[in-house]
Structures are given as structure tokens and as C-alpha cells.
Amino acid sequence: MPSNTKQRAPKNAFDKAWTEDLVRAMWLGLGGRTSDLEAYLRRILPKWEVEAPELTKRLQELLVQSQQAGGGTVRRVTSAAEQRANNVSSPVFALTVDNDDLLRFESPVVLPVEPVWSSEIAIELNSIIKERRAGPELAKFGLSPTHTVIFTGLPGVGKTLAARWLARELNLPLAVLNLGTVMSSFLGRTGANLRQVIAYASKQPCVLLLDELDAIAKRRDDNSDIGELKRLVTVLLQELDAWPSEALLIAATNHADLIDPAVWRRFERRVAFPLPQSEQQAELLYRLLGTDWASLSEATRVGVSAAATRLSPADMTQIALRTKREMIVSPGAFEPKLLANFSGAIASLPLVDRRKVGLELKRLKIGQREINRLTGLARETIRSLQTK
């Protein structure tokens, strides 16, 4: 089993990398670019926790004490040890305003598994990356790359994952403002905090994700909403108009039909995330399970694949990772653990789909008892399935 322990870099490599980082930090500081310097330090300090623990600690303390954005404080939320203990992929920092953690930074961005996109989604995401990387070339023609994008789709289809993937591919920190969880912080403050955190993020080299956009960007003709929420839509529109082309802002929503039309028009690119097709689900299962997938019986693979068609990528990832954790905590046979975790999804399949799975298993010469265990179909139903 591979170890998660950080490896100490060779001294020459460390000295060279450290020198480059230090020169870059000094350049930002001497140039008076305080916010850029702090964002850069948040990005590089996790790399030096092993080689220079004391210096890293002191610099992190300075970041904690730093006052930014008219009273906001940047503080580290998780330590390296806490990340390993809690299965957090990368360091998280938060911009705290009036005792609320409104904006969370993740740097560097590390994904638990490589995502599997449909060809349509892959084209859209890669197009965004190409434009961002071609910024200087576009500028020669008076153009700028796409800088506002909205992701729509059901929960768990990969909207947040796509934002994290883009941040990683662009080698930028990810800043997340969850509008749903901080709504209470905004009410009664006429959007002052919303302006503050978005303005702060716009000055950082990062990808900003506005999650649960529909929490504040609802149609202003919705008479059920109070006036304060309608004013927040106006604040959001102003901030989107002011968002710099040098930065990338991504919004995500599960309820595209609720978004105010004026907000829609502010996004240069709109990407709809559908539920993945069976081919994508199979590829994701293979990536999640690796060699464990090859060790499964044909019957289990058919049952799991069928259940996967009813699950979002997020659900599948959780089940796969849960099974792997169980194997470490309570070693044993992998197949029964995986089936137990997928059993709920298999049982929730409509009868017509379970009959299709049962028929496929019967063609594979799987016994009735095993088919019954995997699908919950009655023996009489199994016997009636035709295997032409």
C-alpha cells in the first residue's frame, strides 16, 4: 500500500525551488502587491512543511494575523496532519468576516480520482483552459479569455469537481463561496459582505466558485422572496460586471430555472452537466476500483454496473472510497464489501431494470440463488426470464 508520508526533496532540488519561490515572493512584496503575496504564500507553504517546518509555521502565523478586505482575516482551516487524518486532499484557508468563514481557499488542488467527462463536457472544459492559457495572444487582438462560466445540473453530476479540475489544470488555488450556507451572514447587510469577498477573490490568482448560485440569484419577479434578497441580485450583477478578465469565476446551480435572466446574461459560457452515460460510469468505476475491479466476478460486475446507472459520479465515488476504507480498517474479501455498499442502489432499480440485469446474469450462466442475491428478483421471476 503506498504511503501518504511526504518525501524530503534532494537538497539541491530543494535549494533551487526554494530560491525561486523566495525571489517570487520578494518581487510581489517589494512591488506592494500585498494581496497577491498572501495568495502566493498560501499556495507555496504546503510544499515546505517538511523541509522548513519552523519557517513555514511562522509564515502561516503571519497569514493568520493579516487583515484583508476591510476587516477580513485569512486563517488556515486544516493543518497537514488534519488533512491526512480526515482524508482532506489539500490545505484549506478561509477568509473570515465578522466571525463567519465566507470564502474558503484550497491550494494546491488535489483530486481523489481523475474525472470522466462526456465528450461534450470535455470539449467545453478544455476550451476554457485553452483560452485562459492563450490570454496574451488574445490580448494582441483586443480580446480576453472567458472569465465567467455557469455550471448547471443535478446534484452530484460533477459541477464542483469540474471547478476543482479547472483550478488544478490552471495551477491556481480554488476559492469557494457557498452562497447557500452563508445566506444568514448577508441578510440585513445589503450585500456588503458579498461585495467584500468577491472583491477580495478578484485580486487573487485563483478560480472563484460561487456554489448554490440560486440561493441569492433568484428571479426578481418571485413575490415570495423578501426585498433584501432582491437587492442581493443587484449586488451580484454589479460584481459580475466588475469581474476582471484576468480571473476566472464559475457559478454552479442545481436549479437553473430559478436564476434571474439578468444574471444568466452575465455568464459568457454556460455548461450543462447531464447524468453520465453507462460508458462513462463504467470508466469511472474502473478508475475508482483499479485492480480490484478486475478481481470481481462477472456477476458482481454486471450488478454493480447496472446499479451505477442510477447513481451520480459523486455517489459512486463515495461508495468506492467507503469500500476501500473498510478494507483497510477491517481486512477481508473485497467483493462482499463492495456488493454490500452497492446493494441499496441495486435494490432501488425499477423492476424492469432488475429484470434486465437478471437476464444478463442468466446468460452468463449465473445460478438463480446468486441472481436473487444480487437483484432481489423472486425465483419464479428468474425462471421466467428468456435467454434467447
Q: Which of 100, 95, 130 is nearest to 204 (CA)?
A: 95
Q: What is the pLDDT of residues 141-196, one digit of tens each?
A: 989 999 999 999 988 888 999 999 999 999 998 988 877 665 655 455 546 777 87
Sequence-distant (6+) residues with CB within 8 A of 341 are 319, 322, 323, 326
Q: Nearest Cα to 106, choosing from 89, 128, 86, 87?
A: 89
Lowest mean pLDDT among 31-35, 84-88, 301-305: 84-88
DSSP state of 5: P
Is residue 83 scored above 50 in pLDDT? no
What's residue 101's pLDDT?
58
Quick one: pLDDT at residue 149?
Answer: 96
* Domains defined along the chain, listed by start: 1-65 (no CATH), 119-273 (3.40.50.300), 278-384 (no CATH)
Distance CA 48, CA 55 (A): 9
**Is the predicted pLDDT of residue 318 greater than 70, yes or no?**
yes
What gap in Å lies between CA 89 and CA 181, rounded to an integer? 22
- The whole-chain average pLDDT of the chain stands at 76
User: What pLDDT was estimated at residue 222?
Assistant: 55
Quickly state the pLDDT bin for 37 (edges 50, 70, 90). confident
User: 36-45, 186-195, 284-293 — which is least confidently predicted?
Assistant: 186-195
User: With 70 as the cut, is the pLDDT of residue 34 above it?
Assistant: no
Which pTM was predicted?
0.65
pLDDT at 68: 44
pLDDT computed for residue 122 by the predictor? 93
- With vertex at residue 117, the alpha carbon angle to CA 347 and CA 167, rounded to the nearest 5 degrees, is 120
Is the pLDDT score of 225 beyond 80? Answer: no
Phi/psi at 104 (nearest 5 deg)? -110, 130
Residue type, 69: A
Closest CA to 324 of 367, 353, 288, 281: 288
CB of 315 within 8 A of CB of 344? no
pLDDT of residue 221: 60
| CB-CB contact of 126 with 186 (8 Å) | no
What are the tens digits of pLDDT across the range 363-387?
777 788 878 877 888 888 888 887 6
* 208 neighbors 249 (Cβ within 8 angstroms): yes
Q: What is the pLDDT of residues 236-248, one digit of tens each?
A: 888 888 898 888 9
pLDDT tens digits for 93-142?
A: 555 544 445 778 887 888 877 888 888 999 999 999 999 999 889 989 98
Handedness of CA 301, 3, 54, 34 (dihedral sign): negative
φ, ψ (nearest 5 deg) of residue 110? -125, 130
Q: Where are the alpha helices (DSSP H) in the chain?
A: 11-30, 34-44, 53-65, 80-86, 119-133, 135-139, 159-169, 183-186, 192-202, 227-242, 261-264, 278-289, 291-294, 298-308, 313-329, 334-347, 351-363, 368-375, 379-384
258 with 218: CB under 8 angstroms? yes
Residues 6 or more apart whose CB falls under 8 angstroms from that of 123 comprise none
77 CB-contact burial (10 Å; exposed 0-12 / middle 13-18 / buried 19+):
middle
Say what the pLDDT of residue 67 is: 43
Lowest mean pLDDT among 32-46, 57-71, 286-300: 57-71
* pLDDT of the residue at 179: 77
